[in-house]
Amino acid sequence: MLLVELQQLLGSFYDVPAQHDVRDFLVTDRAYASALGGTQSDEQLFVAQIGDEVGVSLYLDAAVLQRLAAANPMVSLNHANLADYLTAVEGVSHFVCLAWNATFDKPVSLLELELQGEIDKFVSSAWLLSRQADGRYPRELHHVLFNRTRVDDALAGNRAGRYRAASRYASAYCRKVAQRFSDDAMAAGAGIWSDLRRFYRLSLMHKLAHIERSA
């Protein structure tokens, strides 16, 4: 299933072994997601603290998954399936980041989840497109992901500010990553992967400080 492939892909990027199968936490019924307090978005991670236990559900709209099954982005990522691919990547990214931090009893904020989700959309898309095009990816990818995308205030509600902040920081970080991708050609042993893994393990405060220093 695509979600498992995405979980494995992100795990390989950051050297984060999968502790849980994302499919075991998947919800695809919009009515059920609404009952959990969800919005009208096609992706949402639900987290509930019950005593010492943490309950997690990842909602991804069934129609999104059906379209991706019919046009597998792992075979060909293109303008027709890009939006659905990004939705799926964001959901899996949130799940992987939360699960990894929970393994070490590390708190993770909503802003950190959104920031990592935006970074993972760029990194995974660039990596996948380069694999499908002999080591090259479209240089306009950064512009498409960060400049053409707009936050829907009506849909985002009080989360709009957080989404914009995450996108702004991720855009600055990924602009630097894109320069390294060009130089390193995303080879398996390239230094960019070590840098991405170090960044992944920083606290949110240190991530934001790193981005601001590098801007």
Predicted structure pTM score: 0.91
Per-residue confidence band for 109, with pLDDT thresholds at 50, 70 and 90: very high
d(CA 30, CA 27): 8
* Mean pLDDT score across all residues of the chain: 88
Place of tokens 């992901």: 145
- Angstrom distance (rounded) from CA 116 to CA 109: 11
Higher-pLDDT residue of 66 and 182 is 66
**Measured between alpha carbons, how far apart are the two ends of the chain, in Å?**
38
Please state, in angstroms and rounded to a whole number, the distance separating the CA atoms of residues 167 and 172.
9
| Domain that includes residue 98, residue range | 2-214
CA distance 98 to 142: 25
Q: How do residues 40-58 score in pLDDT, each as one tens digit?
A: 789 999 988 777 777 899 9
pLDDT for residue 205 is more than 60: yes
Domain tally for the chain?
Answer: 1
Note the pLDDT tens digit of each residue in 2-19. Answer: 999 999 999 999 999 988
